[in-house]
Amino acid sequence: MFGNWLKTAILMAGILALFAAVGGALGGGQGMLIALLIGGAMNFFAYWFSDKMVLRMYNAQEVDETSAPMLYNMVRELAQRAELPMPRVYLIDEAQPNAFATGRNPEHAAVAATTGILQLLSTRELRGVMAHELAHVRHRDILISTISATVAAAISSLANFFMFFGGSRDERPNPIVGILVMILAPLAAMLIQMAISRAREFEADRGGAEISGDASALADALTKIDAYARGIPMHTAETHPETAQMMIMNPLSGGGLRGLFSTHPATEERVGRLRAMA
């Protein structure tokens, strides 16, 4: 638990530093101060409200044992096995098979699944996926993924703001410097996300296998999701690529760059580790 709090603190410090660097490069001393204030406000806002923002972004609809009895009861059974409070359960009307967890701690957690994943997977395989998401909750890394998803988008907007409106006339940045920062700042945010995401997926796979007691089910699910997700675009994820690292499988259709800038480990490696556990 302490390790995850430390990672969260490092992430927030990195975000503040990145905001300050963008503000300083594009707006001088005044720009750095403004950017630090914006970064601090974003960190505060992201801690309390980023989960709601992400769920709203995907138009996720909360369900219960009346509206989605199979999914809801499955999550309840797995949460009891994991000794976790019952999270809120959401459905996303998307054809691509995928799922994610969000929230600032296990007491304020939510798990979401697309309609596509419910149609694709067997009950046993879906159970493995939801156990994976609850492992994210148990490991307390859902806060990290949700904050990074929310703030990464803001960094790009900050760069654009300072490029066109920031600083006095004498402090206006060189256009070439401005363009470089506009390109490199979002890339730096993406690298922060990747650094905290790949290792988490391996741990959540291992934890999910332990919670469900069926490593092979999760391995089978990942194989199916990987095969189908590549051919079915998820438009919200394409519009908000900073949220891709929250999903159980990379939802982006990035072609050759998919592997280079992927927030997820290779599916083959994940499946291989799960098969070894089984």
DSSP 143-161: HHHHHHHHHHHHHHHHHHH
Give the model's confidence band at 212: pLDDT under 50 very low, under 70 low, under 90 confident, else very high.
very high
Q: C-alpha angle 81/85/91, rounded to 5°?
A: 90
Residue 267 or residue 141, greater confidence: 267
- How far does the chain reach from its first CA to its final CA, in angstroms? 27
What is the per-residue pLDDT for 169? 47
What angle (nearest 5°) sits at the alpha carbon of residue 111, between those of residues 106 and 116? 165
- Domain-by-domain residue ranges, the chain? 2-277
Residue 276 has pLDDT above 80, yes or no: yes
Q: In angstroms, rounded to a whole number, what is the distance separating the alpha carbons of residues 6 and 17?
A: 16
- Answer whether residue 43 shows pLDDT above 80: no
pLDDT confidence bin for 17, thresholds 50/70/90: confident
39: left (phi over 0), alpha (psi -120 to 50) or beta: alpha
Q: What is the pLDDT of residue 160?
A: 61
More confident position, 231 or 184: 231
pLDDT in the model for residue 104: 85
Closest by alpha carbon to 197, among 252, 254, 244, 138?
A: 244
pLDDT tens-digit series, residues 146-185: 666 666 666 666 656 655 555 444 555 556 666 666 666 6
Mean predicted confidence (pLDDT) in 225-233: 90
Average pLDDT, whole number, for the chain? 81
Sheet of 109-114, strands arranged across: 61-63, 88-92, 109-114, 99-103
pLDDT reported for residue 51:
87
Q: How much is the pLDDT for 164?
A: 58
Residue 121 is encoded by which pair of tokens?
């997977």
Q: What is the pTM of this model?
A: 0.78
pLDDT value of residue 258: 45
Question: Residue 45 has what pLDDT?
Answer: 72
Active site residues: 133
Q: How confident is the model at residue 249 (pLDDT cuts 50, 70, 90)?
A: very high
pLDDT digits (tens, 9 = 90+) for 63-119: 999 999 999 999 999 999 999 999 999 999 999 999 999 998 899 999 999 999 999
Q: What is the mean pLDDT of residues 208-237?
A: 94
High-pLDDT (> 90) share of the chain, %: 45
Residue 260 has pLDDT above 50, yes or no: no
Model confidence band, residue 243 (pLDDT cutoffs 50, 70, 90): confident
Other residues' Cβ atoms within 10 Å of the Cβ of residue 70: 11
> Which stretch of 44-48, 211-215, 245-249 has the lowest confidence by average pLDDT?
44-48
Burial of 48 (0-12, 13-18, 19+ CB in 10 A): exposed
Q: What's residue 181's pLDDT?
A: 60
> What is the reported pLDDT for 138?
93
Sign of torsion over alpha carbons 10, 14, 20, 24? positive
Distance of CA 17 to the CA centre of its chain: 21
